[in-house]
Amino acid sequence: MLLKFIHKFYIPVLFILLTPCTSNAFNIKAQPVEVFPGDVIFFKMTSDETSLPVAVFRGKEIKFYKLQGNEYGALMPVDINTPPDDYSIDVKSGVSLSVKIKPYAFPTKKITLPEEKVTLSPEDSMRVEKEYLMQEEIWKYATEKSWGGGFISPTDTAVSEKFGVKRIMNEKKNSVHLGIDMKGKSGTPVKAINSGKVVMRAELFYGGNTLIIDHGMGLLSVYMHLSGFNVESGAEVAKGDVIGFVGMTGRATGPHLHMSVKLQGVSINPEALMRLEF
């Protein structure tokens, strides 16, 4: 596969400005302070109210969960296509969170692939559509939180291609890399990035042998191109469990792990999730 950097395009950077609340009964903090498109924000709130807090960003509810005592947490996805602008996060009267989005550059790559991997037959197109709709239903899952603590890397190898890279395939088809690629020889163990339940184990056209783990609260991790599985569908897994092995099944030109994360239906940068401190 021939890879060439050809230019860069601009996409926003998001900054959080938090106006503190003076009430001792209510406090909220957010991390990180500087957020890029496709990243995820972790909110930690203290409230003496008995009901779960409610907050809204761009018309979408931020879903809080109970931590301990009067503490609550929430993960908020920032879509990679969020337009540059000033936004407010409405949490509660007396507390103001604002976000400001500025331009940021992601690289573009030109990729040459075998034509059959770019232009699909009618039969393959039907299969891809069916698999897409199946996964769209999975992204709607809203189960209880099952992860614990921080998220880990799925392999002990380096990232070979980062989140957000724009690809131009064979001069005619564009796509955005909404995950990360991890280096690895065939058979390299792949670990669950946190605890959860295996909700899909399947062989897909693009992803090859693919696993999806539901971590709760609309957070799901996806592991593609596996040479083999080490868990069954429906299995409960713990953080660090070996769930499969690096391979090159599906649309892959060499052995590697493609890993992606969905949060409430939005693709987020897995590395941003792994940087959060809970």
**CA neighbours closer than 13 Å in the CB half-sphere of residue 122:** 0
% of residues, the chain, pLDDT over 70 = 87
Cβ atoms of 100 and 78 within 8 Å: the answer is: no
Give the model's pLDDT for residue 94: 56
Domains of the chain: 7-105 (2.60.40), 121-270 (2.70.70.10)
Site of tokens 């602008």: 85
Cβ atoms of 220 and 141 within 8 Å: the answer is: yes
2-6, 86-90, 166-170: the lowest-pLDDT one: 2-6
Asked if the model's pLDDT at residue 23 lies above 90, the reply is no
* Cα 33 from Cα 17, distance rounded (Å): 8
Express each pLDDT in 46-86 by its tens digit: 888 888 888 888 888 888 999 998 899 999 999 999 887 77
Question: What pTM does this model have?
Answer: 0.89
Please give the distance of CA 4 from its chain centroid, rounded to a whole number: 26
Average pLDDT over residues 229-237: 98
Average pLDDT over residues 3-13: 40
* Cα 230 from Cα 213, distance rounded (Å): 13
Give the model's pLDDT for residue 40: 93
* Cα 255 from Cα 174, distance rounded (Å): 23
Give the model's pLDDT for residue 1: 41
Express each pLDDT in 192-201 by its tens digit: 999 999 999 9
Express each pLDDT in 82-133 by its tens digit: 887 777 887 765 566 777 766 678 889 888 777 777 788 999 999 999 999 9
Find, among 36, 40, 171, 55, the residue nearest to 101 by Cα: 36
Asked if the model's pLDDT at residue 7 lies above 70, the reply is no
3-state secondary structure the chain: CEEEEEEEEEEEEEEEEEECCCCCCEEEEEECCEECCCCEEEEEEEECCCCCCCEEECCEEECEEECCCCEEEEEEECCCCCCCCEEEEEEECCEEEEEEEEEEEEEEEEEECCHHHCCCCHHHHHHHHHHHHHHHHHCCCCCCCCCCCCCCCCCCCCEEECCCCEEEECCCEEEECCCEEECCCCCCEEECCCCEEEEEEEEECCCEEEEEEEEECCEEEEEEEECEECCCCCCEECCCCEEEECECCCCCCCCEEEEEEEECCEEECHHHHHHCCC
Asked if the model's pLDDT at residue 34 lies above 50, the reply is yes
Express each pLDDT in 157-166 by its tens digit: 999 999 999 9
* Cα 261 from Cα 192, distance rounded (Å): 12
pLDDT, the chain, mean: 87
Q: Which amino acid is at 45?
A: M
Average pLDDT over residues 22-27: 58
